[in-house]
């Protein structure tokens, strides 16, 4: 199984099942994909040429190997990064699963093989974490428990991270709390 991450095309590509296409908030470097669509594909391989053709012109996309099928979560944390210092990154990778789990998160993809499809930013590592709610996803990212790990991640990678609603808008209280957090980080 694979997950496709693409800037939102007009329709989900054939063969893929829509997982999330709701409102998103970017927390790190500019998310160059615009509003992302996340879709799943059963099967062993992704035919990048076929997917690129079904997405149409001007769409950025990559696929990543899945660990788990999507559940009933309402929100996702999608992170993509290029690792600059793997040795200093290792403590982050070792500690983050416990923190994610403590906020109700489940890794759907984590560090699997990334297949470039279209566009200029193709991360080396991708994580896709499903959370029960947008509140849980945001609480994870802005928590005191995650803060020391986030410092490691930002110091050792070219990082991008967004929170994406399964569908529709993120709750107003989540948008407001995220905006306040982002202002405090400037």
Instruction: Determine phi and psi for 74, rounding to 5 degrees.
Output: -105, -5
Every domain of the chain and the residues it spans: 2-184
Confidence of residue 52 (pLDDT cuts 50, 70, 90): confident
Residue 75: name the closest of 178, 167, 3, 145 by CA.
Answer: 167
pLDDT tens for each residue of 111-150: 889 999 988 778 999 999 999 999 999 999 999 999 999 9
Beta-bridge mates of residue 146? none
- Between CA 135 and CA 142 the distance in angstroms is 11
Neighbours of 43 (CB within 10 A): 9
Residue 70: name the closest of 17, 5, 6 by CA.
Answer: 17
- Between CA 149 and CA 165 the distance in angstroms is 24
Among 38-52, 60-74, 105-119, 122-136, the range scoring the smallest mean pLDDT is 38-52
pLDDT tens for each residue of 140-176: 999 999 999 999 999 999 999 999 999 999 999 999 9
Angle, helix 172-184 to helix 134-142, in steps of 10 degrees: 10
pLDDT tens for each residue of 8-30: 877 788 889 999 999 999 998 77
pTM: 0.95
Q: Which CATH code for domain 2-184?
A: 3.30.70.100
Q: What is the dihedral of CA 50, 55, 57, 59, to 10 degrees?
A: -120
Residue 140: name the closest of 176, 100, 183 by CA.
Answer: 100
């Amino acid at each position: 199984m694979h997950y496709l991450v693409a800037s939102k095309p007009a329709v989900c590509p054939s063969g893929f099942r829509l997982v999330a296409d709701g409102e998103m908030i970017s927390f790190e470097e500019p998310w160059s994909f615009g509003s992302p669509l996340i879709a799943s594909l059963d099967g062993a391989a992704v035919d990048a040429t076929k997917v690129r053709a079904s997405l149409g012109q001007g769409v950025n996309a990559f696929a990543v190997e899945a660990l788990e099928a999507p559940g009933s979560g309402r929100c996702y944390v999608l992170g993509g990064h290029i690792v600059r210092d793997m040795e200093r990154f290792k403590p982050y990778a070792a500690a983050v699963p416990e923190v994610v789990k403590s906020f109700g998160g489940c890794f759907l993809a984590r560090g699997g093989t990334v297949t470039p499809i279209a566009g200029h930013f193709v991360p080396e590592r991708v994580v896709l974490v499903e959370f029960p709610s947008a509140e849980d996803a945001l609480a994870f990212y802005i928590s005191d428990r995650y803060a020391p790990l986030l410092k490691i991640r930002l110091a050792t990678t070219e990082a991008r991270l967004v929170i994406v609603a399964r569908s529709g808008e993120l709750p107003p209280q989540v948008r407001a709390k995220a905006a306040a957090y982002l202002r405090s980080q400037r």
